[in-house]
A and B are shown apart, each in its own frame.
Chain A
Amino acid sequence: MTDQQTTYQDKACEGIASPTLQTNLSKLQDRFGKGAMKYWAEMDDQQMRDRVKSSRMNTLEHLDIVISELAKNIRKRGGHVYFAESSEDACHYTLEVAKTHNVKTVVKGKSMLSAEIGIDPVLEENNIEVVETDLGEYIIQQAGDEPSHIIAPCIHLNRENIGRLFESKLGIDYTDDPPTLAMAARKALRKKLLSAEMGLTGCNLACAETGQISLVSNEGNIRMSTTMPKVHVALMGMERVVATFEEHRETLQLLTRGAALQKLSTYVSFLGGPSSGNDPDGPAEFHLIIIDNGRSKILASDEFKEVLACIRCGACLNICPVYGKIGGHAYNATYSGPIGAVVTPLLEGINKHADLCKGETLCGACLDICPVRNDLPRMLSELRYKLAYGDNTWNVRQHNIKESYLFSGWKRLVTSSFLYRNMIKAGRLLQLPFVKESPAENNSPQETRVTLSGIAKGWTRDRDLPPIAKQTFTEIWQKKYANRQQNSQVDQPVSSADSQQKEHANE
């Protein structure tokens, strides 16, 4: 708990202190976050999001049947389908496929799931070169860095950073001209794409009815990674399937709108098996690995099943005010932002990622922007509930004993108005040593302030806190209002001057 807290807080501070990150996130949220909200508000078909959500939830109810249908249809076309229970299982299978085909180089098309299961180091330990082909991910890989956004992985870097990186890694002259940098990457990547024996991708959506997976991209790298090498291995989270092609159409539209305000991404690849006589383009062998890695457990829980409706568009990152300040690295996990704050603890441990459960304001912006209206604030609240008392199903230990004592004391106060009122009176006395007059030269609106210590000192470190009022509202009520003559109608405006004399709380 302590380690993780240090990590979250420390990495958050690093993000806050980075001018590049702050500028880039602000631009990103201004454009894509606001843009998506505007689009949702103005789109003609106002039922679409609810319809897709309901089809997502319906598919989750019958996931076993829908996945069987998908597997059956892909196998019919000569593709291989493997069900991996864990990340180890998925990595092992991928490695075996690579070894069978004597693979020396794997080209990857950006996949969050590949990071979740940790496939890169497994391949590299077996002397297989792994090359990211998504430009952002390629930059991250060259820098030995971690992605900081689900769809914009190098949002924390600027073109000067990338210019210096390419200068040292690709041996080109320094430039910060984006087209020149993109061409340099393209040149380096083309070589890899032409020589790699295996392509490794994720899966944005799979459609059971047609027996195909779909991948969206804007750079064309996915198309090359999936069709040029002789083997294509696609990693798919088991929830990422839709039943019918009609559902697929609508879900895909929400995905590209949510992700980057696009009606459709530049490329959408439909892949359903190896090349064949009448369909000569494509790999000689196609493998789909359908991965559980903790998802069954989420599927079985009433509280969290909804999170599997997520289509990983990343829209919640584009509006979250916390993510907008701290950036993706603070989450210290594959998935960042609001979706990461819910899904990471569920996949990797709620205690381990307690900070992700508690480190948001529950403002609700993620719920408003989510194309499928996933109620992430509700799920964060469920996670906090488990941390508050511990939970056997999810192997959660009570997170913070001190806090739990505090709230049981609080409960006594708020259920007894006698104790509550007296505690306020006591607090008014006890606060006296901590109440400070504001400096005279300070033109601040508050005349007095309190400085807190102990667990609450985080509040007054950067802010002033007004003291408990000399008379609470209840005390004013009892003195001035409780026995008033009801109700002399005063129907004309009261001027400021009049009302100023009427009552002042701190008189």
Chain B
Amino acid sequence: MAREKVTLFIQCLVDTMFPEAGVAMLTTFDRLGIDYDYPIEQTCCGQPAYNSGYRKEALAAARHFIEIFENSEIIVCPSGSCVHMVRHHYRLLFKEDPAMLARAMEVGDKTFELTEYLVDHLGVTDVGATYQTTVTYHDSCHLSSGLGITRQPRLLLDHIEGLELIEMDNSDTCCGFGGTFSVNYPDISTAMVDEKIENILATGADIVTGCDVSCLMNIGGRLSRRGEKVKAVHIAELLAGRAGGAQ
């Protein structure tokens, strides 16, 4: 079937620190026969500045993003919070500038989070992956509360051969990351991520997954510091049916 060419929006954290999640997404796209391209001029969507109140700086980042992505057919990103930024906050940033607002809305409307793209846009729930493991799923806030995406990742996980999904308590409670919040208020942030980790450990799952590497970086970083064996793995890596499976 004829599909749009996907323009990859690889968020800054995946690009610089977790490239394996981006590569995994390509593995899945290859398997599904999805054509894609990657504009290497992309940097950051502006979310860190926006959330900290630095709207002028966020606006500059948003303009840069729009210029790069506005000619794309469809934009797909392995991060809920970045899609939330592009889809919902760009239009607030440009509300005083009708010309840019129109461009921002057009870009926002064609930007999709990975699992949303696969399930809602393509109608794919089985990506043909195999991954022998037990997984628990963290609903990141901007993905679940901001974009309303909770069903799609679970559908995809359910169809991975060999994978068992074990739900944790309060999966949709914030992990305590919150960008600069975690740097400025480490005590509160740590208390929050520790509670998240208790809920993860209670499932007995080997892996905690989600659709946002920022949350996974927070959870994974704390798991690692505590010396826990559970790994934080981006959902794209599970969908690729790649490394780490106990096969």
A interface list, Cβ under 8 A from B: 9, 12-13, 16, 321-322, 325-326, 358-365, 367-368, 381, 383-389, 403-404, 407-408, 410-411, 413-417, 420, 424, 427, 438, 442-446, 449, 455-456, 458-459, 461-469, 471-474, 476-478, 481-482, 486-497, 499-500, 502-506
Q: How far is the CA of A458 from the CA of B142 in the complex (A)?
A: 23
Do A458 and B43 form a contact, CB below 8 Å, given A407-B52, A415-B64, A463-B221?
Answer: no
Residues of A within 8 A of B26 (CB): 481
Q: Which residue of A lies closest to B34 (CB)?
A: A487
What are some 19 contacts across the A-B interface (CB < 8 A)?
Answer: A325-B192, A326-B188, A361-B178, A365-B145, A368-B145, A404-B54, A414-B46, A445-B223, A458-B186, A461-B186, A465-B221, A466-B17, A466-B217, A469-B18, A482-B38, A487-B30, A494-B27, A499-B27, A499-B243
Q: How far is the CA of A213 from the CA of B163 in the complex (A)?
A: 58
Residues of B within 8 A of A16 (CB): 187-188, 191
Select the residue from B26, B42, B232 with max chain A CB neighbours within 10 A: B26
Select the residue from B16, B44, B46, B182 with max chain A CB neighbours within 10 A: B16
The 8 Å CB contact of A385, one of B53, B141, B183, B227, is: B53
B window 54-103: CB within 8 A of A:
54-57, 60-61, 63-64
Q: Which residue of A lies closest to B186 (CB)?
A: A458
Q: How far is the CA of A387 from the CA of B220 in the complex (A)?
A: 32
A413 adjacent to B43 (CB under 8 Å): yes
Known: A388-B52, A444-B227, A477-B38. 10 other contacts (CB 8 A): A359-B184, A363-B178, A364-B145, A365-B141, A407-B52, A414-B43, A445-B224, A458-B185, A463-B224, A464-B220
B10 adjacent to A463 (CB under 8 Å): no
Instruction: Tell me, yes or no, whether B245 is within 8 Å of chain A by CB.
Output: yes
B43 adjacent to A359 (CB under 8 Å): no
Q: How far is the CA of A422 from the CA of B65 in the complex (A)?
A: 19
Do A360 and B224 form a contact, CB below 8 Å, given A472-B16, A473-B14, A504-B243?
Answer: no
B window 124-179: CB within 8 A of A:
128-132, 141-142, 145-146, 161, 173-174, 176-179
Residues of B within 8 A of A424 (CB): 15-16
Residues of A within 8 A of B244 (CB): 496
A469 adjacent to B223 (CB under 8 Å): no
Residues of A within 8 A of B40 (CB): 417, 474, 477-478
Q: How far is the CA of A9 from the CA of B189 in the complex (A)?
A: 11
A469 adjacent to B53 (CB under 8 Å): no
Closest Cβ of chain A to B83, distance in Å, is: 14
Would you give the 0/1 interface string for B27-40, flagging 1 where the beta carbon is closer than 8 Å to chain A? Answer: 10011111100101
A361 adjacent to B231 (CB under 8 Å): no
Closest Cβ of chain A to B62, distance in Å, is: 10
Residues of A within 8 A of B180 (CB): 358, 403
A12 adjacent to B188 (CB under 8 Å): yes
Closest Cβ of chain A to B74, distance in Å, is: 15
A321 adjacent to B222 (CB under 8 Å): no
Q: Which residue of B lies closest to A384 (CB)?
A: B53
The 8 Å CB contact of A495, one of B42, B182, B185, B247, is: B247
Residues of B within 8 A of A495 (CB): 130, 241, 247
Do A493 and B128 form a contact, CB below 8 Å, given A361-B177, A364-B146?
Answer: yes
A403 adjacent to B52 (CB under 8 Å): yes
Residues of A within 8 A of B112 (CB): none
B145 adjacent to A487 (CB under 8 Å): no
Q: Which residue of B lies closest to A470 (CB)?
A: B19
Q: How far is the CA of A326 from the CA of B2 in the complex (A)?
A: 53
Closest Cβ of chain B to A448, distance in Å, is: 10
Select the residue from B51, B225, B241 with max chain A CB neighbours within 10 A: B225
B53 adjacent to A387 (CB under 8 Å): yes
Residues of A within 8 A of B145 (CB): 363-365, 367-368
Q: How far is the CA of A459 from the CA of B141 in the complex (A)?
A: 20
Do A497 and B222 form a contact, CB below 8 Å, given A360-B178, A404-B54?
Answer: no
Do A494 and B241 form a contact, CB below 8 Å, given A361-B181, A410-B57, A466-B217?
Answer: yes
B245 adjacent to A504 (CB under 8 Å): no
Q: How far is the CA of A277 from the CA of B15 in the complex (A)?
A: 78
Do A464 and B183 form a contact, CB below 8 Å, given A326-B188, A497-B247, A504-B243?
Answer: no
Residues of B within 8 A of A417 (CB): 40-43
Closest Cβ of chain A to B219, distance in Å, is: 9
Would you give the 0/1 interface string for B221-247, flagging 1 where the beta carbon is closer than 8 Å to chain A? Answer: 111110111111000000011111101
Minimum-distance CB pairs A-B, first 9: A384-B53, A361-B178, A463-B221, A388-B53, A363-B174, A363-B141, A364-B145, A458-B186, A499-B242
Q: How far is the CA of A7 from the CA of B133 in the complex (A)?
A: 45
Select the residue from A13, A491, A494 with max chain B CB neighbours within 10 A: A494
Closest Cβ of chain B to A305, distance in Å, is: 16
Select the residue from B23, B27, B63, B183 with max chain A CB neighbours within 10 A: B23
The 8 Å CB contact of A444, one of B10, B22, B192, B224, is: B224
A503 adjacent to B178 (CB under 8 Å): no
B54 adjacent to A13 (CB under 8 Å): no
Q: How far is the CA of A23 from the CA of B224 in the complex (A)?
A: 26
Closest Cβ of chain B to A207, distance in Å, is: 34
Do A463 and B225 form a contact, CB below 8 Å, given A362-B178, A388-B54, A476-B23?
Answer: yes
Q: How far is the CA of A496 from the CA of B61 in the complex (A)?
A: 37
Q: How far is the CA of A342 from the CA of B179 in the complex (A)?
A: 19
Closest Cβ of chain B to A89, distance in Å, is: 33
Q: Which residue of A lies closest to B44 (CB)?
A: A414
Residues of B within 8 A of A325 (CB): 188, 191-192, 195
B220 adjacent to A462 (CB under 8 Å): no
Residues of B within 8 A of A490 (CB): 30-31, 33
Do A496 and B19 form a contact, CB below 8 Å, given A359-B188, A455-B183?
Answer: no
Closest Cβ of chain B to A430, distance in Å, is: 13
Closest Cβ of chain A to B169, distance in Å, is: 9
A473 adjacent to B23 (CB under 8 Å): yes
Q: How far is the CA of A493 from the CA of B132 in the complex (A)?
A: 14
